[in-house]
Amino acid sequence: MMKNLSTRLARYSITVNEVAPAVIEEPGLISHAANYPIVHGIPMHRLGTPMEVANVVQMFCNTGYVTGQSVMLA
């Protein structure tokens, strides 16, 4: 759907991209990441942070030339 929308909306200068984060650590939801075995399957051996996801979203917002891209955060 993202690829389809990105090609159809580009003529209107609308970009469509996707951010697909792995498990994100957030106090109150998931904390103490070392206690979760899933961490060992993530290349960085840690959970992501909300700010790291926000940085990628902000990059897409600030870059009007990028469209139809999927960024997997892990």
Task: State pLDDT tens for residues 45-57.
Answer: 888 889 999 999 9
pTM flag (> 0.85): no
At 61 the pLDDT is 95
At 35 the pLDDT is 67
Give the distance from CA 34 to its chain's centroid: 22
SS3 call for 37: helix
Place of tokens 């609308």: 14
Please report, for residues 12, 14, 58, 64, 73, the alpha-carbon distance to residue 21 in angstroms, rounded to integers and kept in the order given.
28, 23, 14, 21, 4
Mean pLDDT of 50-68: 95
Superfamily of domain 2-73: NAD(P)-binding Rossmann-like Domain (3.40.50.720)
Between 42 and 63, the higher pLDDT residue: 63
**Element containing residue 70 per DSSP (H, E):** strand 70-73
Between 26 and 73, the higher pLDDT residue: 73
Q: Which of 23, 21, 9 is nearest to 70 (CA)?
A: 21
